[in-house]
Structure 1
Amino acid sequence: MSMVAWLQARWQCSQDQDASRRQVMRVLCTAASGYIGGSIAVALVTAGHEVSGLVRSEWSAMQVRSLGITPAHGTLDDVDVLRAAAMRADVVINAASSDHERSALAMLQVLDGTGKTFIHTSGSSIVGTQSAGERVDDVFDEDTPLIPSSGRAAPSFLGHEGECRPTRRSPARPPAAASRGTDSER
Structure 2
Amino acid sequence: MNPPPTPPAGWYDVPAGGKRFWDGKSWSADVVGAPSATAEYEALDPYLPPPRATTTVATVPMTPLVESAAAGWYPGPTGALRWWDGRQWGPFAPSVVAPAKEVGIAYLFLLLLGGVAAQRFYLGLIPSAIVFNILWWGGWLLSILLIGIPMILAAAIWWVVDLFLLPTLVRRANAVRVMGQ
Q: TM-score, normalised by structure 2?
A: 0.20
Structure with more contact order per residue of length (Cα contacts < 8 Å, sep ≥ 6): 1
Determine which structure has the larger helix proportion and give its number.
2
Greater CA radius of gyration, 1 or 2?
2
